[in-house]
Structure 1
Amino acid sequence: MLKPNPRATSDVLQDLAKLSNVAIQSNVALVGSVETAAARDDKRRAEKGTSLRRKVCLEALPRAELGQSVELAPWHVLHDLAQALSLSRQGAGRGLAEHWGSLKYSQALDAVANSYIQLSAEAKGIARDYKRLQSRELGQGFALALARHALGHRYPDRFVSFVSAEVVIRAGWSKGSAGYRYRPDFFAEVWKPGEPSRVFPIAATGNHGGPKPSYTQLAAGSAHVEAMHIGAWNETPCLVFSTELSSQGPVTVHVLHAGGGGGWLYGSPERPLRSLDSPAEKGNIVPGIQLPGHGDDSSQSEPGFHVQSQDSAWFQHVVARTVTAGSAAFAGDGATTARYLTTDQGSRRYDTGVAHAASGSVQDSAYRLLGIPFVGTDHVFRLNNRRVEAFSGVAADLFALLSAGKAEEYRSEIYARRDTWPEQTWDPNWGGPVSIREDGTVLAMRLLQLRGSSVEVAST
């Protein structure tokens, strides 16, 4: 079988910026298929004498929030994936290496104008083991892009931020309790300055196998979101995604959600909401999810993670500061990233950790993109034997607030400016795709402009 000829690098860059559609599946039929998959798995577990607690009452999203498709560019998906990876510790490098891992998917998606995004010929031809990583990470990128759209529609007066659930959990639960294998992939923080936040657990993955694997993945995801309760028992709202990366048709995202009155992070007279400028404190939360009417009685609890009223203000503080740390990491500034994390979250890894040569990012670059000055860090690699450079960063005036420890002012600024950022996906002066998010972060790529100095080239 002949391998497809790789697209010219300039064509790849143009395709990354091209707006297209992502197909959405969220309906009553999907709910029934997922319930059937969950019942089948529960039966197998019962035969082995085991059981699994799942989120009950998963439902289709309201049509107004996503509909049957959403328009976006592949570069938006890679931006969301990059930010999701910035604090993940999933990469082979250390410290600030993580988010460049998204760039390995620069040739994975074809955006067909007035049609749907689909897998490219290059993506279809990869090895089986790599497909598992590809489907999981691209699934996360699509999930976050669509969760931003859905929650933004649901809460038009609030800001939507995402953060790794694992990094947040490390701040408050002991290693023993954190050993429970089920947990969300991300938290969506829906917030407004000076008011309580609302947090949604999110489970997100993907597959190359078609609709049936998505039903199984959504059933499995229901156990992961159920592992986190925020507020009253079984009242935490959540989102569960499975992205189908078909070799025959368009990329299709299957999504369900659960409602409930929980997820709100209120303060109290005894434990008021704290200024985000103050350092986060180490939590010491009782392991397990407390059953109704049993308080902190650990003998009457289910495995998992539970944020009760006495820890609500602490959790809001940690989530918001960890989100802020992710923006600093995206700009490549280790010292600023570290100041927003606790020791258990790995602050020393960013402040003093050793980085490997290709990813020892430091906040050392500045560019004007779509008319806005940004500071951040860059990365050089080969794409179809052409050198390209990628830049990630934060708007210069916002980064000045981050580096000064002014998290409250940073959040107030991005909230006030959330509808003012350019929507273009290509900057002709820069010469490549550009994605600017409402938090003031940017991801951009172009053919390398040699500036008379040697550069170290990494290969993706």
Structure 2
Amino acid sequence: MLRQLAQRSNVAVHSNAKLLGEVEAVAVKDDEVREEKELDALRRKPGLQPVPAKEIGDGVQLTPWEVLHTLGRAIALSRRGAGRGLAEHWGCLKYSQALKGALGTFMALSAEGRDTADYYKALQSDELGVGFALALAKHVLTRRYPDHSVSIVPADTALRAGFAVTGRDAGTSVGYRYRPQYFAEVWKPGQPSRVFPIVCKGNHSGASASHTQLASASVHADAVHIGGWTDTPALIFSTELPVDGPMTIHALQARGNGGELAHPAGRTRDLDMELDEDNIFPGILPPAQDGETVEPVPGFHIEPEKYAWFQHALARTGAAGLTAFAGDADATVPYLTNRQGRKRYEGISHAAIGSVQDANETLLGIPFVGTDHVFRLNRIRVEAFSGVAQDLFKHLAKRRLTRYRNEVHAHRSSWPTDSWDAEWGGPVSILPDGSALALRVLPA
């Protein structure tokens, strides 16, 4: 049962001029419908293009467990569930039997995954779409920037450090429901980060649904401008998960000279210091027309004077995601501001869904600290473990974020790639950020 989770298989990636044309045609038709209904036109990410073939090749090889690990890391700071953050990442485990694959074949939904799609189609495709898209995004950006590290940061949490994202947040609300779900921070110690807004969608319907989703994703991707007008690079994805065939990740990108958080040396921030919550006025200012200043359009604008602050916010938010994934509330609190949800980690969790950082495991020869969760798969009791490499977690817990980033960057290419640990007794995934997810059957 668990061997299937550790089986590496192919995942097809579709990104070419034909896809771009189909997405653009959907966007044009959607704009026409909105005009007929007298609705405001949507602002879409301009300059979309296929992802270069050299960066995606013939696709990617992934294990189902790596996809679930990527999903778990992505949702560790989510506000959608009742886990108050510290148990959010266990949501990935509900898909432990949803995927199947084998070496030399393409990954697809299992029988259980197909059955689940009949009842929870939108939720399953949405969440698995995140796992596949972010795994591909890291693959693409690691190839593009081989001497950098790539961190995935939830956009809502990062933006809340400087903006009132919704009306429930303190401050002047942005009042714009479109925004990317994640940022990819491409970084190297001591250098400015480069940031890519990422939008992930998924469906069980087919390629035409992916075209519609990518057209919608282009609206969300344009909601954040880092630097000049429409100059921020971005990645958008729609994962097609058919019930009767292999899955395909449809991908497009926008290139741009923005997104680089270059700032004067005098503004460089100490990442070990707590983040000061800012109150950036919402809106994106388009360039002047005929010398006349125009009204700002809805969205989030990170201008050059905020680059150092935003790099600080991304690093601290990423650290919070790691400590939450390891189940440590006390370590998570200092990395978040109040508007980002700091108080959620200071209170008492609901019964049965909390996590506590009190587990120690050695996986593929590396000591990890984290938290565990016991549940049943087809009536069989299994134990899941999530955590961070012990030496790296010690830096995070003691608020030595700079040292963590220095060391994890130095070891980014040396982590084990095995997907099964015989001594542990089950599938294991270790990501370059030093986090691990493992599963095993418990003795009867």
Scaled to the shorter chain, the TM-score interval is: over 0.9
**Rounded Cα–Cα distance in structure 2 between residues aligned with 1:105 and 1:147:** 21
Q: What corresponds to 1:85 in structure 2?
A: 75
> Are the counterparts in 1 of residues 359 and 372 from structure 2 also a CA contact under 8 Å?
yes
**Rounded Cα–Cα distance in structure 2 between residues aligned with 1:256 and 1:188:** 15
Q: What corresponds to 2:234 in structure 1?
A: 238
**Rounded Cα–Cα distance in structure 1 between residues aligned with 2:441 and 2:58:** 35
SS in 2 for 1:157: coil
Q: What corresponds to 1:130 in structure 2?
A: 120
> Are the counterparts in 1 of residues 427 and 440 from structure 2 also a CA contact under 8 Å?
yes
Is residue 114 of structure 1 aligned with residue 94 of structure 2? Answer: no
How far has the Cα of 1:128 moved from its partner? Answer: 4.1
Q: What corresponds to 1:315 in structure 2?
A: 310
The number of residues matched between the two structures is 435
Is residue 267 of structure 1 aligned with residue 263 of structure 2? Answer: yes
Q: 1:223 aligns with which of 219, 224, 227?
A: 219
Q: 1:410 aligns with which of 397, 401, 404?
A: 404
**Rounded Cα–Cα distance in structure 1 between residues aligned with 2:437 and 2:198:** 23
**Rounded Cα–Cα distance in structure 1 between residues aligned with 2:443 and 2:151:** 33
SS in 2 for 1:380: strand
SS in 1 for 2:124: helix
Q: What corresponds to 2:348 in structure 1?
A: 354
> Are the counterparts in 1 of residues 285 and 294 from structure 2 also a CA contact under 8 Å?
no
How far has the Cα of 1:17 moved from its partner? Answer: 0.3
How far has the Cα of 1:83 moved from its partner? Answer: 0.3
**Rounded Cα–Cα distance in structure 2 between residues aligned with 1:341 and 1:73:** 32
> Are the counterparts in 2 of residues 189 and 199 from structure 1 also a CA contact under 8 Å?
yes
Q: What corresponds to 2:359 in structure 1?
A: 365
For residues 411-448 of structure 1, give each alpha carbon's deviation from its aligned partner in whole angstroms, at most 9, with x where no partner exists.
00000011111000000000000000111100000002
Is residue 208 of structure 1 aligned with residue 215 of structure 2? Answer: no
Q: 1:17 aligns with which of 3, 6, 31?
A: 6
For residues 308-349 of structure 1, give each alpha carbon's deviation from its aligned partner in whole angstroms, at most 9, with x where no partner exists.
011111111001110111111111000111111111101111
**Rounded Cα–Cα distance in structure 2 between residues aligned with 1:230 and 1:362:** 37
**Rounded Cα–Cα distance in structure 2 between residues aligned with 1:226 and 1:96:** 31
Taking structure 1 as the reference length, the TM-score comes to 0.92
**Rounded Cα–Cα distance in structure 1 between residues aligned with 2:85 and 2:327:** 9
For 1:222, the aligned partner's letter is: S
**Rounded Cα–Cα distance in structure 1 between residues aligned with 2:82 and 2:353:** 10
Q: What corresponds to 2:129 in structure 1?
A: 139
**Rounded Cα–Cα distance in structure 2 between residues aligned with 1:376 and 1:298:** 53
Is residue 286 of structure 1 aligned with residue 275 of structure 2? Answer: no
SS in 2 for 1:145: helix
Taking structure 2 as the reference length, the TM-score comes to 0.96
**Rounded Cα–Cα distance in structure 2 between residues aligned with 1:285 and 1:102:** 34
**Rounded Cα–Cα distance in structure 1 between residues aligned with 2:69 and 2:199:** 19
Q: What corresponds to 1:303 in structure 2?
A: 298
SS in 2 for 1:153: helix
Is residue 28 of structure 1 aligned with residue 22 of structure 2? Answer: no
Between 47-56 and 196-205, report the one with greater CA deviation: 47-56
Q: 1:256 aligns with which of 243, 252, 256?
A: 252
> Are the counterparts in 2 of residues 20 and 114 from structure 1 also a CA contact under 8 Å?
yes
How far has the Cα of 1:109 moved from its partner? Answer: 0.3
Q: 2:26 aligns with which of 5, 27, 37?
A: 37
For 2:286, the aligned partner's letter is: L
For 1:390, the aligned partner's letter is: A
**Rounded Cα–Cα distance in structure 1 between residues aligned with 2:214 and 2:118:** 22
Q: Which blocks of at least 5 consecutive residues in structure 1 are unaligned?
A: 1-10, 451-460
Is residue 327 of structure 1 aligned with residue 327 of structure 2? Answer: no
Is residue 178 of structure 1 aligned with residue 167 of structure 2? Answer: no
**Rounded Cα–Cα distance in structure 1 between residues aligned with 2:293 and 2:272:** 34
For 1:407, the aligned partner's letter is: L
Q: What corresponds to 2:420 in structure 1?
A: 426
Between 353-362 and 231-240, report the one with greater CA deviation: 353-362
Q: What corresponds to 1:162 in structure 2?
A: 152
